[in-house]
């Protein structure tokens, strides 16, 4: 199976009340790890890269690796560009083979967010690429996008309805109290808001800031209507800590395979845990 758009994958997840795990990867080993997790659990998968990782590795390299994964496994796999504010980068990634992109214009006023999202929708619709947009402001740090706690703003359900109607966007990431990065305390998720937005719009919703949310809160958010969960920071930490452990035990180690293999295994284990929370294990066959 070739890489697919995440549109149908997420619509099926929404209909059947589970979420698809979407994992930000920064190396080939991280990409392989989340793919192996999906194979082992027969799960649909969204591989994600931030703009920073696109600049670091190149969109063509990332897309080529993701295409190999999809071809080899036969699983439904989408490749997503996360939190992009730049139209030219979106174009570049679509040309490279990305099947889903996020235009993040949430830092602008409602009308400009609509305008910028429409511009991306016009491009993506022609080539069957999914488009995700954000409404409200998710706090925390995502690459170069920093939203302080006092600047975070929850999405209004009626605004969400109007935004989807005016843009035709296929996937919506509403700010509901989560934050990017690792939480200093318990996340303050507005579950009533999730339920209201899910009732108000007919597109799949995305849970940003999925790292560190307690298991029961993830399950509740998914049950209320979240169809995609983004995980980034926890994967980076698991990957890095595994490498640190190798060097702590053997400071003279100089074979990348000796520290990349345990790092890859750590990411794989964590990805499987997140897939279990999303409820997508065994759901790969849902997507034809």
The whole-angstrom separation of Cα 146 and Cα 243 is 27
The whole-angstrom separation of Cα 158 and Cα 69 is 40
277 is written with which tokens? Answer: 């929370």
Smallest Cα–Cα separation from 98: which of 231, 204, 228, 6?
Answer: 6
Which residues contact residue 162 at a Cβ distance below 8 angstroms, ignoring those fewer than 6 apart? none
The whole-angstrom separation of Cα 98 and Cα 113 is 22
CB atoms within 10 A of CB 6: 31
The whole-angstrom separation of Cα 233 and Cα 40 is 23
Catalytic machinery residues: 82
The whole-angstrom separation of Cα 63 and Cα 271 is 20
The whole-angstrom separation of Cα 194 and Cα 202 is 13
Alpha-carbon radius of gyration of the chain: 18
């Amino acid at each position: 199976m070739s890489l697919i758009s995440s549109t149908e994958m997420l619509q099926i997840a929404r209909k059947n009340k589970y979420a698809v795990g979407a994992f930000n990867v920064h190396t080939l080993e991280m990409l392989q790890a989340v793919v192996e997790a999906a194979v082992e659990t027969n799960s649909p998968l969204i591989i994600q890269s931030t703009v920073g990782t696109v600049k670091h590795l190149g969109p063509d390299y990332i897309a080529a690796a993701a295409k190999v994964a999809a071809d080899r496994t036969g699983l439904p796999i989408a490749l997503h560009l996360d939190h992009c504010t730049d139209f030219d980068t979106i174009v570049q990634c679509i040309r490279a083979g990305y099947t889903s992109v996020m235009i993040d214009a949430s830092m602008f006023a409602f009308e400009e967010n609509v305008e910028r999202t429409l511009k991306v929708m016009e491009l993506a619709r022609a080539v069957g690429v999914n488009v995700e947009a954000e409404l409200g402001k998710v706090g925390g740090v995502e690459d170069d996008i920093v939203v302080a706690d006092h600047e975070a703003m929850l999405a209004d359900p009626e605004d969400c309805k109007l935004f989807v109607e005016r843009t035709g966007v296929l996937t919506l990431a509403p700010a509901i109290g989560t934050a990017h990065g690792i939480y200093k305390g318990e996340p303050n998720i507005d579950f009533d808001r999730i339920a209201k937005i899910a009732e108000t719009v007919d597109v799949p919703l995305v849970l940003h800031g999925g790292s560190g949310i307690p298991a029961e809160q993830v399950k509740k958010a998914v049950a209320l209507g979240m169809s995609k969960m983004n995980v980034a920071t926890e994967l980076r930490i698991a990957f890095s800590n595994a490498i640190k452990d190798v060097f702590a035990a053997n400071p003279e180690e100089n074979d990348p395979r000796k520290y990349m293999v345990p790092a890859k295994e750590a990411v794989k284990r964590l990805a499987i845990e997140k897939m279990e929370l999303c409820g997508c294990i065994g759901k790969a066959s849902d997507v034809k």
